[in-house]
Amino acid sequence: MTTHPTTERPVTRRAARAGAPAPRRARSFAYGLVGVIGELLITVGVLLLGFLVWQLWWTDVEGDRAQAEIVRELDFVEPAPAPADTGPLVAEPRRDEPPAPIAEPGHAETFATIQVPRWVGEPERPISQGVDRPTVLDVLGVGHYPGTAMPGGVGNFALAGHRVTFGKPFNRIEEIQVGDPIVVRTADTWYVYRATGTEVVLPKDVRVIAPAPNQPGVEPTERSITLTTCHPMFSARERYVVYGVLDYWAPASSGTPAELLGTA
């Protein structure tokens, strides 16, 4: 009997060839998916980088500009000019009873400025009423805790400020050492405080802004100042605190504190 060649193997080969595009399509889809994911990750990275640039740099640029303008617009008494060729007039320290503290202002009202001579290169910063972020700390600079003492008053003149972003007025707070001057200016008076210590506390430790710092319920006898800011850097986990007491006061019209002139 004559036998004929089988057709099974050619059919199998054709079937195999017909099924070949499936793996290629799968690989093509996988490569396309990887490409899309890669583009999405790049886009997200660019957006995050842009956010960081805005948050860590541009808000400082805007904050510094806005705060400098606020200080320029304050209607404060100018220090008395010195006679020609004698240099700036140094205010004479006074350690008697300072003027009666100014009344606590309305929310977000700017009423004083602060300078720390150790922070060489840092500008004079405005102090405004309140410590919320949207209307004070993010836009006006340093905030005053409502209900605490006013400059020069018996009690605790307590302040808060950003350590990073929005001008970061308290960025260099850890540089302050015991004995350093902290200079506050109101419309017509200088108040020169001296740092007495520092502390790191939890945000719930409101004892630091008590009328007698760290002594809730105790009647204050000193004219104190307290600076608070977030700690550590780029975190709000804790608070870094600087304490101080009033050293002396001087009328703004009498000159400029020696500490600001570098002659103290």
- Name the active-site residue from 125, 162, 185, 231: 162
CB atoms within 10 A of CB 239: 20
The Cα–Cα gap between 247 and 65 comes to: 31
* Identified catalytic residue from 163, 223, 231, 239: 239
Q: What is the DSSP letter of 148?
A: S
Residue 109 φ/ψ, nearest 5 degrees: -85, 130
Q: Could you list the beta-strand ranges (E) of the chain.
A: 110-115, 125-129, 142-144, 155-160, 181-185, 189-201, 223-231, 238-251
Catalytic residue (one of 125, 185, 230, 231):
230
- Does the annotation count 4 as an active-site position? no
Is 239 part of the annotated catalytic residue set?
A: yes
Please confirm, yes or no, whether 230 is among the known catalytic residues.
yes
Interstrand relation of 155-160 and 142-144 (parallel, antiparallel or unpaired)? antiparallel
- Residues with catalytic roles: 162, 230, 239
